[in-house]
Amino acid sequence: MIRLNHRHCLVTGGAGFIGSHLVDRLLANGCKVRVLDNLSNGKTANLAHHFANPNFEFSQGSITDPCDVEEATQDIQVVFHLACLGVRHSLAHPFENHRVNAEGTLLLLAAARRAKVLRFVHCSSSEVYGSAQHVPMAETHPTHPCTVYGASKLAGEAYARAYHLTYGLPTVIVRPFNTYGPRSHHEGDAGEMIPKSIVRALNGKEILVFGDGLQTRDFTFVEDTAAGLVAAAECEATTGLTLNIGCNFEISIKDLAEKLVAMVGNAAATVRFTPARPGDVSRLYADPSAFMGMCDWRPATAFEAGLEKTIAYFREHPSGPASLLQSEAGRNW
Ligand SMILES: NC(=O)c1ccc[n+]([C@@H]2O[C@H](COP(=O)([O-])OP(=O)(O)OC[C@H]3O[C@@H](n4cnc5c(N)ncnc54)[C@H](O)[C@@H]3O)[C@@H](O)[C@H]2O)c1
């Protein structure tokens, strides 16, 4: 067991949705934390509550810039690599998506090796699997990504694994399934189903379901995903392994849309079915038993409780629901 207390951690993508919750957790655990983020999708507002903390340092820079990466890895003991560009971004910008998600990962691995880090946690994604061929999906499920995003995340995994096998870098690869919660993206091409739908429902707009809505996802609350990343770093037995983080619970997008309409409670909000999105996988349903068996991790947040917290976050957002709606793009690819 590697206790992270007082360790110096680098979180790439730490101004983003999951990264900022991970930063909260690491600082609460007594770590020193440096964030490297170019703010392409991340927000300093996600970290504003830490700027006066002497254990926190923010570096605006890119994982594709060798100087930024070299500087960011100086004196670092544990790397959490979350910086990436997302799935819808990859539909319109495949090369840039590849450069950040695959090449950026390789650059960071090389710098982490030079810095002789104790742990390198590579945050991958369930999107590397593509659609479920059988369920629940264990780590042995074939990897058959449907998008350049999934393919570039898989390339990043392969580099992380190669750095472990070739150079002995103590990497662990984690594959979170879909994550939701406060600070999730409702806006632009980063916008995800749950936050987009909440913002639309709060404004009395139709929730958009792409396709027949029968596609399913296995959702984890963001604080549980962040706790999983920390558990993976602390558990030495995970070195060199690839592990799922998920809840072993699937819900269809149609059922989720109806649940969100009911929970937001705006009578004007309805559900509208629109044509399917390219690259949308039809089923994701996690088998996280290997990770649970190895690390001291269980999802602590029930789905409805997590949705309530997410709805409250958007309802009480300082910008107000009407302003949030302006950056919600509807069809966002
Ligand atoms: N959100 C999910 O449902 C989910 C599910 C599975 C895996 N993941 C993985 O979790 C990680 C975090 O995802 P997220 O949902 O928090 O996304 P996010 O977009 O909120 O976070 C990614 C962060 O990376 C930053 N970034 C992008 N390009 C960069 C670059 N070149 N240099 C430095 N920083 C850069 C962005 O500004 C952003 O803050 C990603 O690796 C993603 O693949 C997310």
Average pLDDT taken over every residue of the chain: 97
Predicted confidence at residue 261, as pLDDT, reads 97
| Banded pLDDT at 269 (limits 50, 70, 90) | very high
Question: Which tokens sit at 124?
Answer: 């991958």
From ligand 1's centre to the CA of 15, what distance in Å?
Answer: 9
Q: What is the CATH number of domain 182-217+249-281+302-326?
A: 3.90.25.10
Shortest-distance Cα residue to atom 18 of ligand 1: 16
> Whose CA is closest to atom 41 on ligand 1?
82
Q: How far apart are CA 282 and CA 129, in angstroms?
A: 11
Residues 303, 312: Cα–Cα separation, whole Å? 14
CA 210 to chain centre: 21
149 is catalytic: yes
DSSP, residue by residue, 18-34:
HHHHHHHHHHHTT-EEE
Phi/psi for 56 (5° steps) reads: -120, 140
CA pair distance 167, 273, nearest whole angstrom: 50
Element (H, E) at 220: strand 220-221
Q: Work out the average pLDDT over 139-149.
A: 98
Pocket flag, ligand 1, residue 44 (CB < 6 Å): no
pLDDT of residue 124: 98
**Cβ proximity of 186 and 236 under 8 Å:** no
**Mean pLDDT across the stretch 7-22?**
99
- Asked whether 16 lines ligand 1 (CB < 6 A), one says yes
The residue contributing the CA closest to ligand 1 atom 30 is 62
- Residue 296 confidence (pLDDT): 83
* CA-to-CA dists, residue 208 to 18, 88, 269, 332, angstroms: 24, 16, 11, 11
pLDDT of residue 5: 87
* 88 and 190 Cβ atoms separated by less than 8 Å: yes
Task: Please tell me which residue in 129, 149, 159, 285 is annotated as part of the active site.
Answer: 149
Whether 69 is in the pocket of ligand 1, judged by its Cβ within 6 Å, is no
Q: What is the pLDDT of residues 225-253, one digit of tens each?
A: 999 999 999 999 999 999 999 999 999 99
Domain ranges of the chain: 8-179+221-245, 182-217+249-281+302-326
Report whether residue 35 contacts ligand 1, using a CB cutoff of 6 Å.
Answer: no
Average pLDDT over residues 5-10: 95
CATH number of 8-179+221-245: 3.40.50.720
Please give the backbone phi and psi of residue 9, each rounded to the nearest 5 degrees, phi first. Answer: -110, 145
**Residue 318: Cβ within 10 Å count:** 6
